[in-house]
Amino acid sequence: MPVNGDIIILKKPHACGGNEWQVTRTGMDFGLRCLQCGRNIMLPRRELQRQLKEIISKDKKEGTLEK
């Protein structure tokens, strides 16, 4: 599971079209911030496990995700 500060990719894109999120809180519920629009959401742990496609550590973010 991702840790605080990780960048993750979810299978289902956000309403804004972005699918990259930063983890802002971990626990029973995970807090995620959409990197595209900056919106914060809460996702139950089980739901996140289902939606999680990829974990990108924040250290790797620079360079690997440039478009």
CA–CA gap between residue 65 and residue 52 (Å, rounded): 17
In this structure, the strands spanning 20-25 and 52-56 are unpaired
Closest separation in Å from C-beta 40 to Zn ion: 10
Q: Is 36 in the site for Zn ion (CB under 5 A)?
A: yes
Compute CA distances 21 → 24, 38, 41, 50, whole Å. 9, 9, 10, 15
Judged by beta carbon, residue 7 or residue 28, the one nearer Zn ion is 7
Looking at 12-20, 24-32, 48-56, 59-67, which segment touches Zn ion (CB under 5 A)? 12-20
Contact residues toward Zn ion (CB under 5 A) are 14, 16, 18, 34, 36-37, 39
